[in-house]
């Protein structure tokens, strides 16, 4: 979980706090410089314009601080420090893309965790999609946060849920899971297929799948869909087979009475 500046100040040592003060001041200064450039030029042209007085090939100082956050403030605080830097700098799409593409897994994770705090709209979705293709569960967990909940289309979001189940990322990491999964019949179908594949392969069905399926079987207004089994998948065989076993064989019909002459 990302920590606030106040929480960091209470946990960081004096040298780390001083370093963070300088880093955030540089990030804020860079944001102001970018704002001034946009005010003086056409907004679209200024969006990717180099910072005043800076080489177009050089990274602004705060980006260098971003990479050093773990070393200067401790790896346990690195995500929070990097997130604060991105917000203070009002990081643009070129900045977050550069930091993601050139960064370590930890630096990429901090970008993903902060996307919803930046004014980027859906433009950073390629970064989320890239993380969801990875096998690094830390990146997958970060990719399904609030930004994905806000911007992934239903098809991509369903596959993100399945990615979490497949890689054993706890579904608690999925932002607004109950809201987005509620009443999603297609998601319920996909989960059923996934459970059937696991069962056929002799593997257990994860409890998290049952949790998601429970949401998907609920109606948009909240109550459980009539006839749905609470808690999701509870079977180890296909539904049709269960239904066949559960249906009693009807007794033979009694012969019709004949009229007596």
What is the model's pLDDT at position 23? 95
Of the candidate ranges 45-59, 83-97, 115-129, 161-175, the one whose mean pLDDT is the lowest: 45-59
What is the model's pLDDT at position 8? 96
Half-sphere exposure of 232 (CA within 13 A, CB side): 24
Quote the percentage of the chain above a pLDDT of 70: 74
* Of 172, 169, 7, 136, the residue nearest 83 (C-alpha): 7
Q: How confident is the model at residue 188 (pLDDT cuts 50, 70, 90)?
A: very high
Tens of pLDDT, residue by residue over 3-30, are 999 999 999 999 999 999 999 999 999 8
pTM of the model: 0.76
DSSP 89-115: TT--HHHHHHHHHHS-HHHHHHHHHHG
Between CA 204 and CA 195 the distance in angstroms is: 8
- Supply the angle between the helices 61-73 and 14-40 in degrees, to the nearest 10: 160
Tens of pLDDT, residue by residue over 39-61, are 555 445 545 544 444 444 467 88
Of the candidate ranges 15-24, 179-188, 223-232, the one whose mean pLDDT is the lowest: 223-232
Between CA 31 and CA 88 the distance in angstroms is: 7
Between CA 189 and CA 187 the distance in angstroms is: 5
Task: Summarize the confidence of residues 107-136 as an average pLDDT.
Answer: 97
What is the distance, to the nearest Å, from the Cα of residue 189 to the centroid of all Cα atoms in its chain? Answer: 21
CB 216 within 8 A of CB 185: yes
Cα dihedral 28, 34, 38, 43 sign: negative
- As a whole number, the mean pLDDT across the chain is 82
Looking at the predicted structure, is the pLDDT value of residue 77 above 70? yes
What is the model's pLDDT at position 36? 58
Between CA 188 and CA 108 the distance in angstroms is: 31
Name the DSSP letter for residue 224.
Answer: B
First and final CA of the chain: distance in angstroms? 90
Of the candidate ranges 17-21, 32-36, 116-120, 163-167, the one whose mean pLDDT is the lowest: 32-36
Looking at the predicted structure, is the pLDDT value of residue 235 above 60? no
Between CA 147 and CA 152 the distance in angstroms is: 8
Strand segments (E) across 165-216: none
- Total residues found in the chain within this entry: 261
Of the candidate ranges 79-83, 133-137, 179-183, 251-255, the one whose mean pLDDT is the lowest: 251-255
Between CA 171 and CA 163 the distance in angstroms is: 10
What is the model's pLDDT at position 248? 37
What is the model's pLDDT at position 110? 98
Buried b (16+ CB within 10 A) or exposed e, 240-255: eeeeeeeeeeeeeeee
Between CA 149 and CA 176 the distance in angstroms is: 6
CB atoms within 10 A of CB 163: 19
């Amino acid at each position: 979980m990302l920590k606030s500046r106040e929480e960091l100040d209470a946990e960081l040592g004096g040298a780390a706090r001083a370093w963070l003060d300088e880093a955030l001041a540089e990030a804020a200064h860079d944001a102001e410089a970018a704002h001034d450039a946009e005010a003086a030029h056409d907004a679209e042209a200024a969006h990717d314009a180099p910072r005043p007085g800076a080489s177009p090939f050089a990274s602004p100082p705060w980006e260098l601080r971003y990479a050093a956050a773990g070393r200067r403030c401790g790896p346990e605080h690195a995500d929070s420090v990097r997130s604060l830097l991105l917000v203070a700098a009002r990081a643009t799409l070129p900045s977050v893309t550069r930091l993601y593409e050139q960064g370590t897994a930890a630096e990429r994770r901090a970008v993903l965790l902060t996307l919803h705090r930046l004014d980027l709209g859906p433009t950073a979705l390629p970064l989320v999609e890239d993380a969801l293709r990875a096998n690094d569960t830390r990146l997958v967990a970060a990719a399904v946060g609030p930004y994905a909940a806000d911007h992934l289309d239903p098809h991509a979001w369903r596959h993100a849920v399945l990615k979490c189940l497949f890689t054993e990322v706890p579904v608690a990491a999925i932002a607004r899971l109950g809201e987005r999964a509620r009443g999603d019949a297609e998601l319920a179908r996909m989960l059923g297929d996934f459970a059937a594949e696991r069962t056929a392969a002799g593997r257990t069905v994860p409890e998290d799948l049952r949790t998601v399926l429970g949401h998907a079987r609920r109606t948009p207004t909240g109550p459980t869909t009539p006839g749905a089994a609470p808690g999701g998948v509870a079977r180890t065989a296909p539904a049709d087979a269960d239904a066949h076993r559960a249906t009693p064989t009807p007794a033979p019909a009694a012969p019709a009475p004949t009229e007596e002459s």
